Structure 1
Amino acid sequence: MPTELNDSLPSHEPAEDALALVVGIGIEAIPIVGGMLGRTFDHALATRDKERRHAFDVSVVAELQRVSQLLNTPVIVETILSSDDFLAALARAQRIASETGSVSKRHRLAACVAEVGPWSKFASAELAQHTLLVERLDDLHVWLLAYIARQGGSVIAGNDLPSDPAPIDYALGSALGINGPAPAVVTDAVEDLQSQLLVSLSASASGVDSITISDRGSRFVDFLRAIDAEQSDPPAI
């Protein structure tokens, strides 16, 4: 891909923003009180948003370069910038990326955006479905789904603790390196995956016995692998 696409990205210099703030606020902001505190928070948020926006745009360019290298006919800048679908997807992803603190999620969003356009190897309906999941799911959801897939498509209660069969939350806790049952945030994430029809749960009187990935879940994991966005390391809980 021509390097001109990189050149089209505006630079971000947070140091210049900080200097402007110091000059604008003046000495009365030390200590920061009242309205000055709000102004400082506004500036901090605006600066961080610019930083994330610039970093995300750079990630999208890198993903476009990766996609282009995989094609027999490289994608040219003019094709990218003339694609209404790509520009619409980029605008949406930029907003979502600015609202998440997860670097991994921003990477998944950038990888999805790079696949939107006439050059994509994915059918438009399939790509739209997977992109919605990328937008909705956080790092824990993605890790859990990938972990279940790596276990052969199912996690069974007691598999990780053969001498002491336990509910599924003990198996998930063990997978996450937790000495004991997984916290509620993990079981809530599993329920989220079920609500998205990505996994199915088998339960008995003692609780959930197993979690099995669905065909929809398997296709989503395959998609993440195809765009090099599968999350193999467990997130911090």
Structure 2
Amino acid sequence: MKDLREAIQPEEPEDEVMRLGLALAGMVPLVGPFVTEGAAHVVQQRVARRNRENFEAIVLAVEELWRALDSQMTLEEIVASDAFVAGFERAMRVAGESESAAKRQRLANAVATAALDPNFDESERDGYMQLVERYSDLHVWLLAFYCNPVGWLRGNGMEGAADDMIRGGLREEPLNDALRVDRARAVPAVTAALEDLQRDSVLGAFQLTESVGDRKQFNPQTTRRGRRLLRFIREEHPDQMQPPMR
């Protein structure tokens, strides 16, 4: 086998999409059959295009990691592996439901890691894939930021916010600077995402409203599990990730 695309080309659910389009258009009063079929065709084309894009992203991610790891697995072995099949099916389903291009790429990277990286066992692969499916761009950025808040701030031109002369302060201050908000705790999406990450044990337990000394507001908070998750989705440079909220 010379081309991974030949082995895993997904079937495009044209009939199912057509039925969906017809059903949706049929709910609108006074819509004629020509308009109804036209709407279904538009939906069908968009879904098919999205499926192709997601498929291509997975193929490219697998091929890139295959070369980077100098894997001894053949393409036939990759395609036949349970890890690849399970990851591929899950990623295609979730990617088709996501508006975020970044999330679709994370899913593709996760499939590649699950199929090729021997450093992740079956239980880890399943657990991390579930998190990748659930997490938004904000979840993943917060994990990246808290790997090294000082490094992220300095790497993004905010040396003053991470100045060595700063001593104590509120836990939320570095996050406020990174997001360029007055109070991160007042942003519902941020507080909800932090709660999710802490509940999943990928981020340590802390309160944004807590006052601390000795520069502890800059302490890393991402746990080993969280760092492993970032590796699973191939985010190897957390300090380069940009927040999705700006």
Query: Could you state the TM-score of these two structures normalised by the residue count of structure 1?
Result: 0.71
Query: Which structure's residues are more often helix, by fraction?
Result: 2
**Could you tell me which residue of structure 2 aligns to residue 136 of structure 1?**
134
**Could you tell me which residue of structure 2 aligns to residue 16 of structure 1?**
none
**Could you tell me which residue of structure 1 aligns to residue 158 of structure 2?**
none
5+ long unaligned stretches in structure 2? 13-17, 154-160, 212-216
1:43 and 1:109 mapped to 2: Cα distance?
27
Query: Which structure's residues are more often strand, by fraction?
Result: 1
5+ long unaligned stretches in structure 1? 13-19
**Could you tell me which residue of structure 2 aligns to residue 79 of structure 1?**
77
Closer, same or farther in 2 for the Cα pair 1:103/1:229, shift >3 Å? farther
Closer, same or farther in 2 for the Cα pair 1:208/1:184, shift >3 Å? farther
Q: 1:105 Cα shift?
A: 0.9
Post-superposition Cα deviations, 1:45-86, rounded to whole Å, max 9, x if no partner, equal 443322221111111111111122134444333223322332
Query: Could you state the TM-score of these two structures normalised by the residue count of structure 2?
Result: 0.69
Q: 1:5 Cα shift?
A: 2.0
| RMSD (Å), alpha carbons | 3.9
Post-superposition Cα deviations, 1:27-53, rounded to whole Å, max 9, x if no partner, equal xx9xx9644677666554443322221
- Equivalent residues of 1:169, 1:187 under 8 A apart: no
**Could you tell me which residue of structure 2 aligns to residue 63 of structure 1?**
61
Q: Which amino acid aligns with 1:195?
A: R
Asked if 1:194 is matched to 2:201, the reply is: no
Closer, same or farther in 2 for the Cα pair 1:163/1:152, shift >3 Å? closer
Closer, same or farther in 2 for the Cα pair 1:201/1:4, shift >3 Å? closer
Q: 1:10 Cα shift?
A: 7.0
Post-superposition Cα deviations, 1:201-222, rounded to whole Å, max 9, x if no partner, equal 334xx92445722232233234
Asked if 1:173 is matched to 2:176, the reply is: yes
1:85 and 1:202 mapped to 2: Cα distance?
35
Asked if 1:92 is matched to 2:94, the reply is: no
Q: 1:184 Cα shift?
A: 2.0
Closer, same or farther in 2 for the Cα pair 1:143/1:73, shift >3 Å? closer
**Could you tell me which residue of structure 1 aligns to residue 148 of structure 2?**
150
Closer, same or farther in 2 for the Cα pair 1:129/1:103, shift >3 Å? same
- 1:1-237 residue pairs with structure 2 within 5 A? 3-7=2-6, 9=9, 34-35=30-31, 43-117=41-115, 119-122=116-119, 123-151=121-149, 167-176=170-179, 178-182=180-184, 183-203=187-207, 207-209=209-211, 212-225=221-234, 232-236=241-245
1:146 and 1:165 mapped to 2: Cα distance?
23
Q: Which amino acid aligns with 1:191?
A: E
Q: 1:166 Cα shift?
A: 6.0
Q: Percent identity?
A: 28
Q: 1:138 Cα shift?
A: 1.0
Q: Which amino acid aligns with 1:181?
A: R
1:163 and 1:151 mapped to 2: Cα distance?
14
SS in structure 1 of the partner of residue 140 of structure 2:
helix
Q: 1:4 Cα shift?
A: 2.2
- Equivalent residues of 1:56, 1:94 under 8 A apart: yes
Residues matched between the structures, number? 214
SS in structure 1 of the partner of residue 111 of structure 2:
helix
